Amino acid sequence: MYVILPGRVAIIDDLGGLQERVLLEYGPRGFLGEYNLLTGQAAYVSAVAVGPARLIEIKPGGLRELMAQEEALSELILGALLRRIAVMIGLHTGLSIIGSGYSADARRLLEFTARNQIPHSWVDVEHDAAAEAMLRDLGVTPDQAPVVTWGPRVLNNPTNAQLARALGLAPSPGPAQVVDLLVAGAGPAGLAASVYGASEGLSTLTLESTAVGGQAGTSTRIENYLGFPAGLSGADLAARAALQAAKFGARITAPCQAAGLEPRAGMTVVHLADGTMVGARAVIIATGARYRRLALHGLASLEGTSVYYAATPEEASRHASDAVAVVGGGNSAGEAAIFLAAHTRRVYLLVRRGDLAATMSRYLIDQLARRPNVEVLAHTEVAALKGEGELHGLMVTDRRNGSRRDLDARALFVFIGADPHTEWLNGVLALDRAGFILTGHDVPATSGPGGGRLPLETSVPGVFAVGDVRSGSVKRVASAVGEGSMAVRFIHDDLAPRTEGVFPARPDGGLVAEGAGLQVSVPSADKPALAS
Ligand SMILES: Cc1cc2nc3c(=O)[nH]c(=O)nc-3n(C[C@H](O)[C@H](O)[C@H](O)COP(=O)(O)OP(=O)(O)OC[C@H]3O[C@@H](n4cnc5c(N)ncnc54)[C@H](O)[C@@H]3O)c2cc1C
């Protein structure tokens, strides 16, 4: 962070790139810095002094220390950083993604940037006359698109992991690490565990395979989360929580997938999809669940262009003048239908049951009834999709009598439940029949070593499961957050006695782990590790 003493500094978007522009200027007592100061990502805009200027430079570690000591300053800085990232996203600063709206890779990059709160603009070669000239200037042919540019940098159809690495979101593969607490998954449950873990002084590493915020991050408005009477968007909740976790010193890496779990003497080793591994004194699994897909011919070719599993402003603006269909009778379907009704021409809500009251909250049913452009079709399921590459319409069936009807929907939003992300845990942890993780009293006495289980503790001692991935969970943001914080409490109480002697402290506060067959050491983080 830089504080301006005398002088003026211009904030410039896309410095040295095709779309360079000055956004604003700061004068004396202004401070320069983005959300990324604390999260470790690259900066998305540049600052250039306009004439002579004197600045105070504050490094990230110093900034954290300052914020821990100065409450009012901390509030001011965090508030400014959150507003700045929102403004940057709104102004479409940062990256430019140039490609065709019909390209699955372009849709993938747009979804990745949108869900990870990465400021970006979208240049569609199908609709933007300037796009071809931009590609020519970059020396890229249209068949090599999509391209991501950022100032003078050009990435040709990067994978999500390559883009994340370029932006400092994902860790470069390095030597194995040992942490006090490893959190797998950064939805509400994992983010809560990260905030509480780091704030309790545990060195905390959080792995996220897709996008920070999890399912909640795809929700356009969460109206029943305590303390937010006007509701808040899932993206906003995720950005706030990630910043809060970073403020306390947690490291969140995305995309980074946990691919295996192995208990070793005194700790748990988590294998990552890139082949590296992390040792942890305690593990919290918060990997949530994934949306179910409809078994329909041609579905895969439409996913990303007109079949979606989230309704965000991105999809809504794409279909603003269309009729769209939402499938599902639960709260997420109801929320999506209400949101889409405000941003698209017409919404069909397709429900298999006859009565929404059994599966959807009353307030959502009432809001749906007040929307003149929403038509609820009960006892209905999708029989066929029409169109290739783009949806041209749907054929639906009335389950009572088999009668069929054609709908002019140009997009299909699917919200029909979810399956747990536990395939990587098969054979290691006790799961229920549907694959959700058993915890506490539900863990069969015969499975795993050790005696009784703490609440939220799995069949492997020291490994906890929280949120939607846990068998019997409530499937709500608030309960996921509550469980994330509870698990940290149990870990904190339980950690020291269980692992005593295994992780000798180094003089500099880092950890050395040898007892479990890992010969690794890590430098101390900003905070001293618990073992020291
Ligand atoms: C559209 C929508 C709207 C909703 N609206 C509401 C609402 O208004 N109110 C409410 O209370 N609830 C709502 N919910 C439900 C709520 O979002 C979930 O209950 C909540 O997100 C569960 O949190 P979680 O952290 O347990 O799991 P998730 O949110 O599912 O997060 C799990 C995270 O783990 C990651 N992950 C998975 N596997 C791995 C792996 N192997 N390694 C690393 N990371 C991994 C996933 O990518 C994901 O980010 C909604 C859900 C949806 C889909």
Residue 502 has pLDDT above 90, yes or no: no
Measured CA angle at 162 (ends 158, 166), to 5 deg: 110
Residue 174 has pLDDT above 90, yes or no: no
Contact between 176 and 518 (Cβ < 8 Å): yes
**Token pair belonging to 256:** 């980074």
Lowest mean pLDDT among 5-14, 269-278, 342-351, 377-386: 269-278
Tell me the C-alpha distance between 254 and 260, whole Å. Answer: 17
209 confidence band (pLDDT: 50, 70, 90): very high
302 confidence band (pLDDT: 50, 70, 90): confident
HSE on the CB side for 295, CA within 13 Å?
0
Contact between 245 and 252 (Cβ < 8 Å): yes
**Token pair belonging to 63:** 């900034």
Site to substitute for ligand 1 among 160, 182, 292, 477, most atoms within 8 A of C-beta? 477
Site to substitute for ligand 1 among 215, 314, 331, most atoms within 8 A of C-beta? 215
Give distance in angstroms: CA of 473 to centre of ligand 1.
Answer: 12
**How many Cβ atoms sit within 10 Å of the Cβ of residue 152?**
10
Q: Crossing angle for the helix pair 104-115 and 160-167, nearest 10 degrees?
A: 40
Q: Write the DSSP symbol of residue 257.
A: -
Question: Which residue type does 497 have?
Answer: P
Share of the chain above pLDDT 70, in %: 91
Is the dihedral angle over the CA atoms 45, 88, 204, 492 positive or is it negative? positive
Per-residue pLDDT of 347-385, as tens digits, reads 999 999 999 999 999 999 999 999 999 999 999 999 999
Measured by CA distance, the residue closest to atom 20 of ligand 1 is: 477
Question: For ligand 1, what atom is nearest to the CA of residue 189?
Answer: 25
Tell me the C-alpha distance between 131 and 122, whole Å. Answer: 10
175 confidence band (pLDDT: 50, 70, 90): low
Beta bridge partners of 409: 323
Question: For ligand 1, what atom is nearest to the CA of residue 336?
Answer: 1
Question: For ligand 1, what atom is nearest to the CA of residue 424?
Answer: 41
Residue 460 has pLDDT above 90, yes or no: yes
Across the range 226-232, mean pLDDT stands at 89
Share of the chain above pLDDT 90, in %: 62
Site to substitute for ligand 1 among 221, 252, 287, most atoms within 8 A of C-beta? 287
* Per-residue pLDDT at 495: 67
* More confidently predicted of 25 and 215: 25
HSE on the CB side for 508, CA within 13 Å?
8
* Per-residue pLDDT at 515: 35
Residue 220 has pLDDT above 90, yes or no: no
Give distance in angstroms: CA of 163 to centre of ligand 1.
Answer: 23
Tell me the C-alpha distance between 367 and 506, whole Å. Answer: 59
* Per-residue pLDDT at 192: 98
Q: Write the DSSP symbol of residue 43.
A: P
What residues does ligand 1 touch, defined as CB less than 6 Å away? 184-190, 207-210, 214-216, 218-219, 222-224, 257-258, 286-289, 310, 331-332, 335, 421, 424, 467-469, 475-478, 480
Give distance in angstroms: CA of 10 to centre of ligand 1.
Answer: 39
Measured by CA distance, the residue closest to atom 12 of ligand 1 is: 476
Residue 525 has pLDDT above 50, yes or no: no
Give distance in angstroms: CA of 477 to centre of ligand 1.
Answer: 8
HSE on the CB side for 411, CA within 13 Å?
29
Give distance in angstroms: CA of 503 to centre of ligand 1.
Answer: 33
Measured CA angle at 172 (ends 425, 107), to 5 deg: 75
Model confidence, pTM: 0.78
Question: For ligand 1, what atom is nearest to the CA of residue 468?
Answer: 26
Residue 129 has pLDDT above 90, yes or no: no
Per-residue pLDDT of 437-452, as tens digits, reads 999 999 988 765 556 7
Lowest mean pLDDT among 290-299, 342-351, 461-470, 517-526: 517-526
Across the range 108-122, mean pLDDT stands at 91
Residue 341 has pLDDT above 80, yes or no: yes
Residue 499 has pLDDT above 70, yes or no: no
Measured by CA distance, the residue closest to atom 38 of ligand 1 is: 287
- Cβ-based neighbours of 532, under 8 Å, separated by 6 or more: 505, 506, 509, 510, 511, 524
Give distance in angstroms: CA of 463 to centre of ligand 1.
Answer: 20
Is the dihedral angle over the CA atoms 212, 214, 215, 216 positive or is it negative? negative
Q: Crossing angle for the helix pair 234-247 and 71-90, nearest 10 degrees?
A: 140
Is the dihedral angle over the CA atoms 353, 358, 364, 368 positive or is it negative? positive
**How many Cβ atoms sit within 10 Å of the Cβ of residue 480?**
29
- Cβ-based neighbours of 382, under 8 Å, separated by 6 or more: 294, 296, 325, 327, 350, 394, 395, 396, 397, 412
Residue 21 has pLDDT above 80, yes or no: yes
> Can you tell me which residue has the tokens 């996008």?
211
Residue 179 has pLDDT above 70, yes or no: yes
* Per-residue pLDDT at 450: 53
**Token pair belonging to 217:** 């991050």
How high does pLDDT run on average in the chain? 87
Tell me the C-alpha distance between 31 and 67, whole Å. Answer: 14
Residue 505 has pLDDT above 50, yes or no: no
* More confidently predicted of 217 and 438: 438
Give distance in angstroms: CA of 386 to centre of ligand 1.
Answer: 31
Question: For ligand 1, what atom is nearest to the CA of residue 213?
Answer: 49
